A = this chain, B = another copy of it.
Amino acid sequence: MTKKRVTLADVAQLAGLSSAAASMILTGRQDTRLSADAYARVHAAAQKLGYRPNVAARALRTDKTRTIAFISDYVTTTRFASGLIRGAIDETEAADHVLLMLETGGDPEREAQAIEAALDRQVDGIIFAAMRAREVYVPDVPASTRVVMLNGTNVRFPTAILPDELAGGRAAIELLVAAGHSEGIALIGYSEIAERGRMRSETVTRRVNGIQQAMADANLTFAAEESAWDWEPQAGFELVGKVLKQTDLKALVCMNDRLAFGAYQALAAIGRNIPGDVSLVSFDNDEISAYLRPGLTTIELPYYQMGREAVRRLLSSEESGEILIPMPVVQRGSVRGSSG
């Protein structure tokens, strides 16, 4: 049953040419001086036999595999950032390449192994993706291998794709200001302690900077700020409780949608209406933000675009520094006066 694969030699033979000639024709080289007839015959033969090049053989000669390695810490595990993968896959396919997926759990030893595995397979480039945008440790890679950092940074590899968190942070506050809020504004989730230590996330820092800039620009201050290590619904629920003791809450900024989810539950439990009594803005555009009632107004983390851009940069040969991808404002119904 196992039909032998059609080789270039088969095509050449059918076309009555040498395999070298067939190779030149099929790889579409222009500078060659073969007859137009030869071109036609080779293409016809390849078509007829269903010829497909053997990537391994080609790689042996050319060191090109049309394969990209996608090495991440927790991206597949977390499912939250699957847009990163989706974007990378779509763009990879559009460029007629293929993606090798490796996961490391953030463990340096597994990171090293993943890179070895990728290099053993002669990948054309490596995308190093991080779940939390941060300075990422990356093991040694031959200078000839292109590397793009995705949602993370590394001094040795300047090309990095990041969300434009500064503008995103500003946008969240501007939404509230535009809706007329000026008092009883609270922020939940940001943890200064975490941001000073090893857990420091570059993008969260920028987001908070954007938030603070916009507050200052509007001459506003937070009536309450409560922080948490884990940005899960449970924490959101509890933090809102603390906030309510400090101020007559009118508007709440949540560092992510899962915190916001918990905030919805806490507000519902005491009969506060969203957005009638309290406006809410958040970050991520997680799936749940569309499920909530009313829909959650949120600043989207543009994972899909980031994934695409990473592949695009990897395949284009020019070095570039940080690429900031805009964070879209997704208006739903959780901010007073905004429709949704």
Contact = CB atoms under 8 A, between A and B. Distances in A.
A232 B293 CA distance: 13
A103 B121 contact: no
Category for how many chain A residues contact B = 35 or more
A93 B237 CA distance: 38
A99 B100 contact: yes
Contacts of A60: 54, 56-57, 60
Interface stretch (A27-35, A75-83, A308-316, A323-331): A75-83
Contact of A2 (B143, B233, B262): B143
A153 interface: no
Contact of A101 (B1, B56, B57, B99): B99
A288 interface: yes
B143 A55 contact: no
A287 B79 contact: yes
Contacts of A86: 76-77, 103
A117 B53 CA distance: 10
A120 B54 contact: yes
Interface string A48-91: 00001111110110000101001000001101101101100110
Contacts of A110: 93
A96 to B, nearest CB: 8
Contacts of A82: 76-77, 79, 82
B2 A122 contact: no
A122 B258 contact: no
Contacts of A101: 70, 85, 89, 99-101
Given A55-B121, A79-B83, A265-B293, 12 more contacts: A2-B143, A52-B120, A54-B60, A56-B121, A60-B60, A65-B121, A70-B101, A76-B89, A77-B86, A89-B102, A93-B110, A98-B102
5 contacts: A1-B144, A52-B116, A55-B122, A79-B82, A268-B268
